[in-house]
Amino acid sequence: MMDMVKMGSFLAELRKEHNLTQAELGEKLGVTNKTISRWETGNYMPPVEMLEELSNMYNMTINELLSGKKLSTEEYQEMAEANIKETLKMSAFSLKEKQEFYKIKWLKDHVAIMVFIGICILGVFVAGAMMSNMLIGYAAILMLVGAHCWRNNTMMTYVEKYAFDGTGAGQ
């Protein structure tokens, strides 16, 4: 069985061997020092993308990181299967589930601005209809398309940032 505290201690040891602070490592990986602290205390396991980065940075295998120690050839094969099984069990949420969670969270956090933009676009459309001006109506449709693109791009940027963070930020 995987020992998260042992793994976290090993990650802290490796970071210190490379003369990095939690903030410096976080900056290199694109996460906060708080995230690094959570990994090192064993509260959270780094997501697979971060394990891959850490293994490259420390010139170690992901299996060794998960085991919390450098492994001999015999130990390596023994621990590989156990670590894979344990990691899969600990992955409470799939990437798709995380993405859906953060989409909904972003929408909830931005509902007021979206309603405001919608009312503005509706106002432009109604004004165009009342003045019998098709050009204003077309402008409203273009505004609607632009607002949709803005919403989708900002929402997906947010989702990508938090779904890959590994801390469950915002939960």
Measured between alpha carbons, how far is residue 101 from residues 46, 62, 89, 117, 153 in Å?
A: 19, 27, 20, 24, 16
Most confident of 36-40, 75-79, 134-138: 36-40
pLDDT tens per residue across span 139-164: 888 999 999 999 999 998 888 887 76
pTM of the entire structure?
0.49
pLDDT tens per residue across span 65-101: 888 888 777 777 667 767 766 766 665 566 677 788 8
Query: pLDDT exceeding 90 applies to what percent of the chain?
Result: 33
85 vs 87: CA distance, rounded Å:
6
The torsion angle over the Cα atoms of residues 51, 55, 56 and 61, rounded to 10 degrees, is -130
Does the pLDDT of residue 167 top 60, yes or no? no
Measured between alpha carbons, how far is residue 82 from residues 1, 2, 105 in Å?
A: 7, 8, 35
